[in-house]
Amino acid sequence: MDQLIIGRKYVELEEFINLLNSRNYQSSKCRAENYYIIGNGYAVLADGFDSFWDERVGLQVKFYKKSQYEHGFSELSDDLRSKVYTNLANALHSQGRLFEALKEYDTAIAIFNNPIAYFSKGRLLVEVSSSLYDGDHAMHFQKEAYPILKYIYECKETLFDADHLKFIEAATPYVEFVSHFNQHFDSISEEFPHLSKFKGSMGKSGKERSYKKWCLENTLFINDLNEITTEPVAAQDVMGLPSVRYSINPLVGVTESLWLGGGFSEIKHQYAHARFTYYEAIESQYAQREVSHYANNDLFLVNSLDYCIYRRDIEQIKISFRLLYSCFDKLAVLLFKYLHPGSVARVYFSNVWYGEKKKVKQNFLDSDNPYLLALHWLSREINDDETEGHDHWMDSNAGKLADIRNKLEHGGFRVVVDDLYKVTNPFEKSLAKTKHAETLARIEKNNKILKSGIPKAEQQHIREKINSDQRLIDERDDLQGYPLIITDKELRNQTLRLMRKVRYAIMYTSLAIHYEEEKSDDSSIVIPYETPMYKN
């Protein structure tokens, strides 16, 4: 793969990717490395595409994530795992998903002292700063980038090989950035002190302080500063929308004219409520030990022998999951009304972008708004349309999230104790597999007996045996996937993963609308109206 990449042999590269895709490894570690190599191939092919909206741009992200989802990924060397995270970050960067890319660079750096990840993170911090509408926040991103890039350029000869060194030295804007900060660092630091110097507010009670600390450490505030700090100054959901400018329309009152800000506030509030509901669940006494709650005292429930959990904290996590998923529905409608991209039968977060024959609409292809691009690619990881095939989604976990949502709302759904279920389930699966094989073998044997020419009197008896065994198989197939069984640990992890995706979607929406408003044509008659704000 490296030889084909260096030679930029695109035809041979595609053929080799197809070959690697066809390989089936028994080892999860080998699968993880194979997916990484395939991702590298798709990353190079993406360089030759005319548009970042091209369907194939997403394939590199898909395979880097598939690599990470393999159990054997943890068996790879630290250096290789760091490269997977770095290349994933680069791929996300190309999709406009700048905040997600920052998170992946941080992970890459934490795993291994990777100079490419350091440089890429510093460069990305500068890029993010140029798109933030809050000038003070932008400067703090630049201050975060400065020591990283300063270290890179001061130590470049020892950090990089000859090929990478040429690339680093050719990045002249960042050389100039470091030079500017070297000259003016004292005055910049005086005007923009370290974020720890800002007072911020962590709340009055111990519970509120613990909650805000958890949000900061898990990067869950709707605040771009939370991407670079866990200081109290970032402990507030400050990102919003610009003040409204609307055309004169006697049929639209002032309240109605605030639909955009009001809709965005609703989504933020729903996210915040889901976030706290989740935190309350994982920190509650019910999650720590078996504690009876009076709401369950008079329930008489069947012991399904799979260590099913019927607890208050589990129900709270389910509520949080539902609320988070519905945020995407609301964001879809908000974006659809704001952007007016055309008509669809039903608005999903994943179909706002498409016109006839599942092609991206021309107004998006013509847009230079990086955060609309980010929202599009993020939507490709949220399976909210059951009519789409599995291959449509650029994250193999999208199907799992959708399955949880659908079974929560419409089907059987049981949460079981992680440790106990993982001990007993493999034994039960193995036993069921053995019995299934035995049943199929009996059916095959009895079919052979029928074909051997036995007397008619015995034929009926043999057919009854075959039908009886077939009914067992049919009943097993009918119960496949019902109910969906998930461990308490996986439900928590999947809900937290979904929460982060919702947060990114809200932040990208804020920045995308600000970007669009900056381009607004002022030639029409409009009434500027300062959006009234209040803080809960």
The confidence score (pLDDT) of residue 454 equals 80
Q: Tell me the two tokens of residue 55.
A: 């369907």
H helix or E strand, kind and range, residue 398: helix 398-410
DSSP state of 359: P
Please state the rounded mean pLDDT for residues 249-254.
66
DSSP state of 355: -
**In this predicted structure, which of 10-24, 179-193, 283-297 has the lowest mean pLDDT?**
283-297
252 pLDDT above the threshold of 70: no
Three-class SS state of 413: strand
pLDDT tens per residue, range 285-335: 777 777 777 777 777 676 766 677 778 888 999 999 999 999 999 999 999
CA angle 299, 304, 305 (to 5 degrees): 125
Least Cα distance to 9 among 34, 44, 33, 37 occurs for 44
Q: Are 526 and 246 in contact (CB under 8 A)?
A: yes
DSSP state of 508: H
**Cross-strand bridge partners of residue 487:** 416
Say how far apart CA 287 and CA 285 lie, in whole Å: 5
Q: Are 117 and 102 in contact (CB under 8 A)?
A: no
Predicted TM-score (pTM) of this structure: 0.87
The larger pLDDT score, comparing residue 406 to residue 423, is at 406
Amino acid identity of residue 169, one-letter, is E
The confidence score (pLDDT) of residue 525 equals 46
Burial of 350-363, coded b for 16+ CB within 10 Å and e otherwise, reads bbbbbbeeeebbee
Q: Are 336 and 379 in contact (CB under 8 A)?
A: no
Amino acid identity of residue 331, one-letter, is L
Three-class SS state of 368: coil
Say how far apart CA 382 and CA 394 lie, in whole Å: 9
- The contacts of residue 223 (CB under 8 Å, 6+ apart) are 234, 235, 236, 237, 238, 239
The confidence score (pLDDT) of residue 320 equals 96
**Cross-strand bridge partners of residue 213:** none
pLDDT tens per residue, range 113-153: 899 999 999 999 999 999 999 999 999 999 999 999 999 99
pLDDT tens per residue, range 38-64: 999 999 998 888 889 988 899 999 999
DSSP state of 425: H
**In this predicted structure, which of 38-42, 196-200, 235-239 has the lowest mean pLDDT?**
196-200
The confidence score (pLDDT) of residue 407 equals 87
Got the DSSP string for 34-51? HHHHHHHHHHHHHTT-S-
Least Cα distance to 135 among 196, 224, 228, 227 occurs for 224
Burial of 292-317, coded b for 16+ CB within 10 Å and e otherwise, reads eeeeeeeeeeeeeeebbbebbbbbbb
Least Cα distance to 232 among 202, 275, 272 occurs for 202
Say how far apart CA 127 and CA 131 lie, in whole Å: 7
Average pLDDT, the chain: 87
pLDDT tens per residue, range 57-103: 999 999 999 999 999 999 999 999 999 999 999 999 999 999 999 99
Helix axes 488-518, 370-379, angle to 10 degrees: 150
Kindly list the domain boundaries of the chain, sorted by start residue.
Answer: 2-197, 239-412+488-529, 415-482
Q: Tell me the two tokens of residue 237.
A: 């959901």
Residue whose entry in the numeric block shows the structure tokens 């970032």:
234
- The contacts of residue 491 (CB under 8 Å, 6+ apart) are 314, 317, 318, 321, 404, 415
Q: Is 18 exposed, middle or buried (0-12, 13-18, 19+ CB in 10 A)?
A: exposed
- Report CA dihedral (187, 189, 190, 192) to the nearest 10 degrees: 120
The answer to whether the bond into 483 is cis (omega within 30° of 0) is yes
| Domain 2-197 belongs in CATH node 1.10.10.60 | no
The larger pLDDT score, comparing residue 272 to residue 5, is at 272
Q: Is 255 exposed, middle or buried (0-12, 13-18, 19+ CB in 10 A)?
A: exposed
pLDDT tens per residue, range 425-473: 666 677 777 888 888 888 888 888 888 878 877 888 888 888 888 888 8
Say how far apart CA 78 and CA 66 lie, in whole Å: 17
Say how far apart CA 132 and CA 514 lie, in whole Å: 9
246 pLDDT above the threshold of 80: no
